[in-house]
Amino acid sequence: MSDLRAELVGAGGVAIPRYRMLLPPGWQGYDVDMETERELVAAARERLAGAGRPDLAGRLGVQVGDALRSLRSQNAFAYAFAGESSPTWALGAASLVGIKRVASPEVPLDAIVEDAIRNRGAAALGDDHRIVRWTESSPVVLDGVRAVSFLVHYLIAIPGSRRTQAVQWTATVAHAEDLAEDDPVLQAWTALFDHHIATFTWSVR
């Protein structure tokens, strides 16, 4: 494996089985625990100091902390984004989050999948039908500018859970309001994430 292809290895921090998945070239994967929060804030402080803007470190630390706490509240177990060397910056900024979903009597996982197929254009990724993928878009405001958040969701049932638990990977791409849904940039992002999510496998000891 080249140094530009990171492998995300799940250690089961949110009580899910171990797994492996290749990330896009130059991407970095993280847990969403307090140790990761400290590491990200320290790295950001160092970069800001090198850029002559140490005054921004405090505010950025708060933003990072808020973001990771929000992810933890959603039962997230992993977070990934492009490092400085990643060629995906040519397409823009994006992130990837993994969360654990647990069914309830009111909202079973099969109902989530059925709704995604009927109302969101969901389809199986690959011939084995183990991954279901759908997309959606919603308006957002970033730094006072109106934009669109393009989301690509992937749902994978956790083995042995009798379809009551799953992991959901969500890729998020922010883009300008005037970008068409079938724009080649969004198609390229979807193809990229499809390729890497398809490498997801459960680790069996």
Q: Which tens digit of pLDDT belongs to each residue from 158-198? A: 998 888 899 999 999 989 889 998 999 999 999 999 999 99
What are the tens digits of pLDDT across the range 65-100?
A: 777 888 888 899 998 988 888 898 888 889 999 999
- Whether pTM > 0.85 for this model: the answer is no
Query: For residue 157, is pLDDT > 90?
Result: yes
Tokens of 32: 């969403």
User: Residue 12 — very low, low, confident or very high, per pLDDT cuts 50/70/90?
Assistant: very low
Give the DSSP letter string of 67-120: HHHHHHHTTEEEEEEE-TT-GGGGT--EEEEEEEEE--SSS-HHHHHHHHHHHS
**What pLDDT is recorded for position 57?**
60
Cβ proximity of 91 and 185 under 8 Å: yes
pLDDT given at position 42? 76
| pLDDT in the model for residue 24 | 93
Instruction: Determine the average pLDDT of the residues in 44-61.
Output: 67
Angle between helices 57-73 and 34-50 in degrees, nearest 10 = 150
Q: Could you tell me the pLDDT band of residue 122, with boundaries at 50, 70 and 90? A: very high
Stretch 130-152: mean pLDDT: 90
Q: What is the structure's pLDDT at 189?
A: 95
Q: pLDDT at residue 137 above 80?
A: yes
What distance lies between CA 171 and its chain's CA centroid? 4
